[in-house]
A and B are shown apart, each in its own frame.
Chain A
Amino acid sequence: GENVEQHPSTLSVQEGDSAVIKCTYSDSASNYFPWYKQELGKRPQLIIDIRSNVGEKKDQRIAVTLNKTAKHFSLHITETQPEDSAVYFCAASSGGSQGNLIFGKGTKLSVKP
């Protein structure tokens, strides 16, 4: 089955700096790669996703890149703000017909004012 590795596990940046979180996946048939943000005590919520027919996608300060050949994808947050502090999870669809979703272990991002 699918396996998703996520790095780093913790990341601390100064307000205004950029943050990058990287994930790799094992199943070459996977074709859907979402990113979720989870604030303390809250449920995970989707912030951006990308499909295998696209190499890059942007939404304001957030961007995701996908390299299918290398089987890795990354989340880029520019001009970080204290409210970006949270745990971020990457995920990949297993590629099977039932389409289950496998998550990485998460990255705790701290943005220091």
Chain B
Amino acid sequence: DAGITQSPRHKVTETGTPVTLRCHQTENHRYMYWYRQDPGHGLRLIHYSYGVKDTDKGEVSDGYSVSRSKTEDFLLTLESATSSQTSVYFCAISERQNTEAFFGQGTRLTVV
């Protein structure tokens, strides 16, 4: 498996609190992505990064922000968590544009 680690793996948080999920890679890949997976919706792109400090919005970016201050880490922040953000979050990495994306193990987030 590609060297990609998500933390935490599980989290329960209260509505209105800030939450940060971390994606860490040891592959030195340029591209990093955050997806959320919900039943009936598949994998939806939240934000992605194409280099250090280079990020852009995906399909469902409202309520989320990201930061990438170094190649190996891509952080996803929920500024004020809502119940609609209860989901499984996957980070993915790819070496170049239009090449295989490797996924992390996922983070199950529950907002109560």
Contact = CB atoms under 8 A, between A and B. Distances in A.
A101 B103 contact: no
A16 B33 CA distance: 36
Contact of A105 (B31, B41, B56): B41
Interface stretch (B18-26, B43-51, B62-70, B74-82): B43-51
A46 B101 contact: yes
Interface string A67-109: 0000000000000000000000101010001111111111000
Interface residues of B, number: 27
State the majority secondary structure of interface residues on A.
Answer: strand
Interface in A1-24: 1, 6
Interface string A26-56: 0000011010000000011110010100000
Contact of A98 (B41, B50, B90): B50
B35 A103 contact: yes
For the complex of A and B, the 8 pairs showing the least CB-CB separation, nearest first, are: A99-B97, A32-B98, A105-B42, A43-B103, A103-B43, A98-B50, A106-B42, A46-B100
Interface of B: 31, 33, 35, 40-45, 48, 50, 54, 56, 58-59, 90, 92, 94, 97-101, 103-106
